[in-house]
């Protein structure tokens, strides 16, 4: 029996064909474009992503041949939102990426409600999330407002659009609903307070459903869509299943530190609390710190410094360079634990005329500093300091992992799991599968304590205090 998994991320969509033993029989990736029409605007074409998902699904069906496919699952980038027609399932707006911060003025306007929203939703008030994006688009487009009022449109995450378009079932699952700033994490339902605050009518939201749910059959096949989940939730499950207290990091276009908080929602200042997994009987929660600038940071520096993409090689540049400078990546705004919308990059003892390798090194170190800050926020809810922090994703490269180990005093293990997001969905689709965790790490970076690393940590903290509104 085989399983089809689709993982649609920021810059590409990947599809996998797993057999029942957890072996990837076939995989394929298709890239898709992001558009930046003006400052703070980052968007994509939802129809292009839909056609990509359809094409890849069909290719996996063909690759399966005579072997039947038991079920399929979908992992999606989480804070990407759009409007679409209920009846035709046709987008009427671009899909506003998780990187999009055009609603930053609304965040400022509603700042007095930040604490209350955080306590209800588990999510900080930020321009990246659904509620502010909804209100911004409604204010900017009176026609859109009228169509919402007439009950013609859905507003929701990209996952809900894709699942409806491919199965005919309208529904937004809980792990991604948490990124809307409209979901009451304690009640497991839409928040009346948040809906009223952002002017969202419940009729324009797809029905809430659990992560594991009968969405119906995919396209014209007899293959059910049984799981829809946020990509980082799937990544944590892929690494550690549903084990309480498990912790992992992931470094892709963005970065993330994820912690399994168990079966009760836990609100942690500076971090996001969300549903990790749910079915009709049980629910698990995750506390997470997100980092907006990871691989996207190096794409940004390519443009800022005029480095051709094939000449960046940021891990090589960083490994052969030291710096006393500090770089705070402001171009996408800071996420956890500071939650500041877009601002200019901050250079301390650096500027654009500095050695480009030194700037790249400082950029890489900024990722490590943010990981360290997130881990400190997690300390009160962890039973003990982790002995090993696993790191997965394309950005999990030696100089970064060694820097994180030195900075935190925690050994960092490079995960052998190349596509743990897809693997996480496979584990949910095939819960009888038993993984071999002993082979999950192929290299361990042990901390090397030094006075210099402590001094740099203090310098980072001072830079944050001086440049970020806390």
At 369 the three-state DSSP class reads helix
Question: What CATH class has 2-230?
Answer: alpha beta
Q: What pLDDT does 138 receive?
A: 96
Q: What are the residues whose beta carbons fall under 8 Å from the beta carbon of 256, sequence distance 6 or more?
A: 232, 235, 249, 250, 288, 289, 290, 291
Smallest CA-to-CA distance from 230 within 98, 34, 35 is with 98
Bond into 337 cis (ω within 30): yes
Contact 354, 148 (CB under 8 A): no
| Assigned token pair, 235 | 């990544």
Residue 312: how many other CB atoms lie within 10 Å: 17
Would the pTM of this model clear 0.85, i.e. be above it? yes
Contact 127, 106 (CB under 8 A): yes
> Taking the chain (470 residues) in consecutive chunks of 10 residues, what is each chunk's mean pLDDT?
95 96 96 92 97 98 96 96 98 95 94 96 94 97 94 98 98 97 97 98 96 96 97 91 91 91 95 97 96 91 93 95 94 88 86 89 97 96 91 92 97 87 95 73 93 95 86
Q: 3-state DSSP: the chain helix, strand, coil percent, rounded to 5?
A: 40, 25, 35
Q: Where are the domains of the chain?
A: 2-230
Q: What are the residues whose beta carbons fall under 8 Å from the beta carbon of 437, sequence distance 6 or more?
A: none
Residue tagged 């671009």 (tokens): 94
Strands (E), 143-236: 153-157, 172-173, 183-184, 189-190, 208-209, 225-230
User: What DSSP line would sit under 220-246, residue for residue?
Assistant: TSS-BEEEEEEHHHHHHHHHHTT-TT-
Beta bridge partners of 273: 287
> Strands across the sheet with 272-278, in order?
272-278, 283-291, 255-262, 247-251, 388-392, 411-415, 441-445
Q: What pLDDT does 416 receive?
A: 81
């Amino acid at each position: 029996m085989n399983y089809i998994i689709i993982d649609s991320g920021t810059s590409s969509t990947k599809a996998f064909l797993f057999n029942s033993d957890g072996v990837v029989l076939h995989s394929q990736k298709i890239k898709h474009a992001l558009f930046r029409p003006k400052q703070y605007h980052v968007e994509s074409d939802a129809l292009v992503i839909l056609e990509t998902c359809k094409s890849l699904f069909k290719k996996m069906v063909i690759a399966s041949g005579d072997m039947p496919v038991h079920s399929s699952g979908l992992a999606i980038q989480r804070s990407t939102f759009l409007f679409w027609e209920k009846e035709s399932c046709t987008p009427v707006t671009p899909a506003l990426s998780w990187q999009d911060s055009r609603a930053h003025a609304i965040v400022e306007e509603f700042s007095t409600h930040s604490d209350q929203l955080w306590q209800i939703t588990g999510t900080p008030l930020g321009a990246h999330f659904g509620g502010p994006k909804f209100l911004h688009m409604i204010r900017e487009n009176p026609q859109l407002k009228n169509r919402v009022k007439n009950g013609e449109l859905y507003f929701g995450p990209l996952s809900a659009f894709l699942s409806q378009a491919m199965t005919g079932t309208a529904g937004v699952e809980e792990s991604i609903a948490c990124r809307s700033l409209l979901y009451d994490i304690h009640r497991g339902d839409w928040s009346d307070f948040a809906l009223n605050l952002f002017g969202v009518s419940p009729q324009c939201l797809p029905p809430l459903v659990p992560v594991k749910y009968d969405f119906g059959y995919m396209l014209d096949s007899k293959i059910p869509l049984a799981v829809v989940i946020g990509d980082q939730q799937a990544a944590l499950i892929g690494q550690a299943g549903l084990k309480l207290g498990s912790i992992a990091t992931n470094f892709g276009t963005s970065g993330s530190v994820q912690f399994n908080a168990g079966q009760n929602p836990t609100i942690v200042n500076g971090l996001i609390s969300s549903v990790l997994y749910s079915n009709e009987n049980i629910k698990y929660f995750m506390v997470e710190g997100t980092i907006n600038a990871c691989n996207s940071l190096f794409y940004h520096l390519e443009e800022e410094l005029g480095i051709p993409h094939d000449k960046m090689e940021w891990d090589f540049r960083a490994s052969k360079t030291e710096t006393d400078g500090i770089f705070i990546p402001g171009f996408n705004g800071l996420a956890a634990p500071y939650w500041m919308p877009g601002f200019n990059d901050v250079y301390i003892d650096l500027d654009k005329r500095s050695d480009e390798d030194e700037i790249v090194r400082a950029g890489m170190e900024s990722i490590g500093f943010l990981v360290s800050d997130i881990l400190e926020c997690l300390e009160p809810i962890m039973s003990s300091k982790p002995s090993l922090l696993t790191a997965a994703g394309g950005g999990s490269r030696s100089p970064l992992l060694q820097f994180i180990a030195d900075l935190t005093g925690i050994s960092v293990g490079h995960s052998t799991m190349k596509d743990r997001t897809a693997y996480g969905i496979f584990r949910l689709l095939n819960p009888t599968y038993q993984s071999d965790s002993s082979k999950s790490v192929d290299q361990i970076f042990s901390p090397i304590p030094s006075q210099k690393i402590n001094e740099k940590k203090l310098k980072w903290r001072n830079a944050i205090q001086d440049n970020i509104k806390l």
